[in-house]
Structures are given as C-alpha cells and as structure tokens.
C-alpha cells in the first residue's frame, strides 16, 4: 500500500511538530495542533514521529529498512518452499517410475 502523503510533506509535518512541541503541554496537544493545521489525523502524525524516531535510532524497534528486508525474505521463503514441494513431488514421481519393471 502506498502512502497518500509525499515524503517531503511528512518531513515538513515532523519539523512543524518538533517546533510546536515546546509551546504545548504534551506531545498529544502538539500533534493535535499541527495535524489540525495540516489537515491530517493526529494519530497519523504520531505514527510518523514514532517511525522517524525508530529509523533515527532514538527509539527501539525495527527500522523501515529492516522491515522491507524482512518482507522480501519472507516472500523468498514462500517461493523456496513452493520450489521444494515441487522437487519433492518430482522426486517421488521419478522414484516410482524407476521402481516399475518394464513389460518389454
């Protein structure tokens, strides 16, 4: 699924959030204020901030780059499992064919 917001918009929103934070009592209040000005959901802005903090190493978690690699590897595992199943089926087929005696 693609993100409907361009990367530069998300970066601008995060800069605005960082600048607005000292003027508000909580992260939620700052996010609500900035989100209202930009026309996005405050939860969306909070998730962008969380993702940016993880990617920058300020918060623990799996980085975006690592998530992409994990997704790629999971897809590769599925493909390899399918290939192994095909090879198993083929080996059983050929083993039974070789085990048959010729009627000639």
Structure tokens at 100: 């048959």
Task: Give the DSSP letter string of 5-48.
Answer: S-HHHHHHHHHHHHHHGGGSSSHHHHHHHHHHHHTS-HHHHHHH
How does pLDDT run across 23-43, given as a tens digit for each residue?
Answer: 999 999 999 999 999 999 999
Residue segments in the chain with a per-residue pLDDT below the cut of 70: 1-2, 100-104
Share of residues in the chain with pLDDT > 90 (%): 82
Tell me the whole-structure pTM to 2 decimals. Answer: 0.72
């Amino acid at each position: 699924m693609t993100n409907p917001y361009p990367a530069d918009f998300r970066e601008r929103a995060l800069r605005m959030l960082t600048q607005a934070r000292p003027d508000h009592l909580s992260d939620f209040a700052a996010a609500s204020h900035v989100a209202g000005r930009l026309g996005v959901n405050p939860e969306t802005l909070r998730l962008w901030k969380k993702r940016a903090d993880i990617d920058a190493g300020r918060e623990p978690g799996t980085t975006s780059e690592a998530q992409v690699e994990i997704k790629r590897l999971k897809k590769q595992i599925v493909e390899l499992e399918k290939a192994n199943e095909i090879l198993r089926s083929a080996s059983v087929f050929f083993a039974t064919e070789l085990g048959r005696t010729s009627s000639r």
